Amino acid sequence: MNDKKLTVVAIGGNAIKRAKEKGTFDEQMRNLAHTCKYLADMIDGGYDLVLTHGNGPQVGALLVQQDAAKEKIPSMPIDVHDANTQGSIGYMISQSLSNVLLKRGIKRDIAAIVTQVIVDKDDPAFQSPTKPVGPFYSKKEGEMLGKEKGWTIVEDAGRGYRRVVPSPQPLDIVEKDIIKSLVIRDVITIAVGGGGIPVIRKKNGELEGIDAVIDKDRASSLLARLIDADLLVILTSVEKVYLNFGREDQKALDTITADEAEMYMEAGHFAKGSMKPKVESAIAFVRSTGKEVIITELEKVGDALAGKTGTRIIK
């Protein structure tokens, strides 16, 4: 290992597809070219990076395409779509970052790893699916699909009916030793994309994919712990973590302890589908390693690393 600071960077969804965009290939590549400038700054500044990313919009698009072509092409389960998007987004990040580094005269190898993440088939999340995926259906279509495929279908904020799947806790990463070996060889590695492909390990040791969605930040925190990272950086759409977010009395958090973060979380300050899993993931990393987590937005990451902004969660 070299003396650079090994950092897991969890790239937020807006770094790939921004709000109100259609999500075309050109749009996503343009966004990634912008994102990779900041990642290249980190590499230039002496950080060894392991990158993770979301894949929600991309998996959603595949599910819509699959639904539209269901009379002609056999459907694939969500774990296969996770694998597909890990490959496609990994390719896009790898190429974008490689091109930015080339312009700066920096030669680094980059590898995207299709990553399986082990979950417990008895995780309580499987008894109460909550993560919406795929297209919207009418009530009649949703009821029919629920009976036909055994899906859990719920109404989604008055917009129609959607399938919901479990979001279990990540327990282990199948390819962790491969990722460690790449890090030792100074390879910039892209892993656990979209939270990883959820798999269970059967009694005979075999692996089997399962329909679920693992939270990207929880998987990133687990990866950072397993590879003994020095720092976890979670990039999102806001500069800092806030109390009373969106209200007149909102308050930005600068440096807080894991205990303080947990206290704020239990008081209901962080939204379930956005900031809460990020804070939970940060707490898990800090308590397990004694090291720090930074939560900030992409464009502020340099200042956050310098201690000028962002929210820093410490032991």
> How much of the chain, in percent, has pLDDT values that exceed 90?
75
Q: Are 172 and 117 in contact (CB under 8 A)?
A: yes
Q: Are 36 and 97 in contact (CB under 8 A)?
A: yes
Q: What is the pLDDT at residue 1?
A: 45
Tell me the per-residue pLDDT of 132-171, one tens digit each, with 9 for 90 and over: 887 788 999 889 988 988 889 988 767 788 888 899 999 9
Give exposure, 158-171, as e/b (b: 16+ Cβ within 10 Å).
Answer: eeebbbbbbbbbbe
Which SS3 state, helix, strand or coil, does residue 109 take? coil
Nearest to 199 by CA among 186, 187, 218, 212: 212
**Which DSSP string corresponds to 173-239?**
ETTHHHHHHHHHTT-EEE-SGGG-EEEEE-TTS-EEE-S----HHHHHHHHHHHTT-SEEEEEESSS
Least confident among 78-87, 133-142, 305-314: 133-142
User: Encoding tokens for residue 167?
Assistant: 């979001």
> Is residue 248's pLDDT more than 90?
no
Single-letter amino acid code for the residue at 33: A
Q: Are 295 and 278 in contact (CB under 8 A)?
A: yes
List of residues 6+ apart from 215 with CB closer than 8 A: 167, 170, 195, 277, 281
Could you give the angle at the alpha carbon of 217 between the alpha carbons of 213 and 218, nearest 5°? Answer: 70
Mean pLDDT of 72-88: 94
**How is the chain split into domains, by residue range?**
5-118+172-314
What is the CA 148 to chain-centroid distance, rounded? 31
List of residues 6+ apart from 213 with CB closer than 8 A: 56, 59, 78, 82, 131, 133, 165, 166, 167, 194, 195, 198
Q: Are 305 and 294 in contact (CB under 8 A)?
A: yes
User: Encoding tokens for residue 269?
Assistant: 């300050």
Q: Are 161 and 154 in contact (CB under 8 A)?
A: yes
Which residues are identified as catalytic?
13-14, 131, 216, 278
CA pair distance 60, 65, nearest whole angstrom: 9
Tell me the per-residue pLDDT of 106-129, one tens digit each, with 9 for 90 and over: 999 999 999 999 999 999 999 988
Least confident among 97-101, 203-207, 268-272: 268-272
Give exposure, 106-124, as e/b (b: 16+ Cβ within 10 Å).
Answer: eeeebebbbbbbbbeeebe
Mean pLDDT of 76-103: 96
Tell me the per-residue pLDDT of 195-247, one tens digit each, with 9 for 90 and over: 999 999 999 999 999 989 999 999 999 999 999 999 999 999 899 999 998 88
Alpha carbon of 288 to those of 124, 176, 186, 222, 291: distances in Å? 23, 17, 25, 10, 8
Q: What is the CATH number of domain 5-118+172-314?
A: 3.40.1160.10
List of residues 6+ apart from 124 with CB closer than 8 A: none
Q: What is the pLDDT at residue 3?
A: 66
Q: What is the pLDDT at residue 93?
A: 98
Tell me the per-residue pLDDT of 19-32, one tens digit each, with 9 for 90 and over: 788 889 999 999 99
Q: What is the pLDDT at residue 30?
A: 96
Q: What is the pLDDT at residue 240?
A: 96
